[in-house]
Amino acid sequence: MSNENVSKNEALWQLARFRDLLIQISSRFIGVPFEDARESLQEALRQIWLFVNADRAYVFDYDWDNNICKNTFEWCAEGISSEIDHLQEIPLAAIPWWVNAHKNGEILSIPDVFVLDKSDGVRKILEPQGIKSLMTVPIMLGNTCVGFVGFDSVRHHRIYSE
């Protein structure tokens, strides 16, 4: 079997595992009262973080009325700093290309934060956190982006696949 076939088979296997994980997570939310959902969401984030093997995973909510985004959930690997308290009320004007990608429903992947221009607002937010690479996935409600889930690589550079 060629390396290309092995890679395709591995990718299909990983996709099936991820689909099964999402089904398992989704089924947990059936019948969960809203006031109890926070704990379930935190556990779901932890499970996805484990699957993705990131150093940090998080959820941000977009507040379109106030033109800000807020970090609402976070999960960190051992030895990785928590940043949730520092990432509240981020002005959307500071990260316009990031916001536009999410508004368009696009996954955003940055394999090397340090390739971004030093004056870029995104780099100014990510670099102090020690982030080398990341991927964010928009959370869509119909055609409206309401937030995003993100995965940071702090220890090593990483190319995240879809």
Cα distances from 42 to residues 7, 38, 53, 107, in angstroms, run: 32, 6, 16, 22
| pLDDT tens per residue across all 162 residues of the chain | 434 444 555 555 455 555 555 555 555 545 555 566 556 666 666 666 666 678 888 888 999 999 999 998 888 888 998 989 998 999 999 899 999 999 999 888 899 999 999 999 899 999 999 999 998 888 888 889 998 888 898 988 877 665
- Can you tell me the distance from the alpha carbon of 28 to that of 44, in angstroms, rounded to the nearest whole number? 9
**Coil, helix or strand at residue 138:** strand
Q: Residue 40: which of 63, 57, 24 has the closest Cα? A: 24
Sole residue written with tokens 């308290």: 85
Q: Can you spell out the DSSP letters for 49-83?
A: HHHHT-SEEEEEEEETTTTEEEEEEEEE-TTPPP-
Q: Residue 146: which of 59, 73, 27 has the closest Cα? A: 59
- Can you tell me the distance from the alpha carbon of 160 to that of 158, in angstroms, rounded to the nearest whole number? 6
Neighbour-count burial of 142, counting CB atoms closer than 10 A to its CB (0-12 exposed, 13-18 middle, 19+ buried): exposed
- Can you tell me the distance from the alpha carbon of 106 to that of 100, in angstroms, rounded to the nearest whole number? 9
pLDDT for res 5: 45
